[in-house]
Amino acid sequence: MRKPIIAGNWKMNNTIAEAEKLVKELKPLVKDAECDVVLCVPYTAIAAVAKLTKKSNIAVGAENVAWADKGAFTGEISAAMLKEVGATYAIIGHSERRQMFGETDETVNKRTIQALKYGLKPIVCVGETLEEREGGKTEEVVKRQTEGAFANVTATEMAQVVIAYEPVWAIGTGKTATDEQANETIAYIRSVLASLYGEETAQGVRIQYGGSMNPGNCKSLMAQPDIDGGLIGGASLKAADFNKVVHYNA
């Protein structure tokens, strides 16, 4: 059985003061959650959020991680630095980074390997654009991204990995994939994992849906057999909304 995992991706939102306010509100609300709860927050807020959530059921993540240990990589933040401030997860290969900051399947792979090397759990994002979906290329794209992301990652390491299927056309647009569309593509991603690692490993990997997931649509998305969680953007910025997604069955 895969334990569901609901993660917030704050993106470039919340100063430290704003982050503290939100986390103080959220902590008592989600304390009895049955799923894993993660907040992926801007680098500058990680230490403060980690401190506030220390003895709680909320884990903290970064929104990216460097692919090298240390050195001349201006503007990058290493896995060791993230661990030091209390992060245990890192989002890798979000479509915003692929589209605006030159992230490729190869850099996603390098960052994933680096996260695993330092014991950070990667949340690896894959997903097609509207043009790719309309061109019938969804499976081809998520297969390429999945195989690319996990090149040289072992089956044992895959137990630490979370995948987020985020159709680019559903992110921040209010357009959600239908429950069946999301489940179908996630099941396909699992079949790609099965061909890489075998059925047992594939069945163990948690795959989230992301893209306009909110209090109104989370229950039916989460009821799908292959959807193991959500990566939540906009709805993670309000404690009440994020709490409702965490309690998706209520």
The residues annotated as belonging to the active site are: 94, 166
Nearest residue to 6 via CA among 87, 61, 66: 61
Q: Does 212 bind ligand 13P (CB under 6 A)?
A: yes
Q: Does 167 bind ligand 13P (CB under 6 A)?
A: no
Whole-angstrom Cα distance, residue 66 to residue 89? Answer: 13
Other beta carbons within 10 angstroms of residue 8's beta carbon come to 26
Per CB under 6 A, which region of 15-23, 42-50, 65-73, 225-233 contacts ligand 13P?
Answer: 225-233
**Residue nearest to ligand 13P according to CB distances in the complex:** 233
Per CB under 6 A, which region of 82-90, 110-118, 148-156, 233-241 contacts ligand 13P?
Answer: 233-241
Cβ atoms of 183 and 167 closer than 8 Å: no
Per CB under 6 A, which region of 97-105, 180-188, 206-214, 240-248 contacts ligand 13P?
Answer: 206-214
Q: Does 9 bind ligand 13P (CB under 6 A)?
A: yes
Q: How far is the CB of 191 from ligand 13P (least distance, A)?
A: 23
Residue ranges binding ligand 13P (CB under 6 A): 9, 94, 166, 171-172, 210-213, 231-235
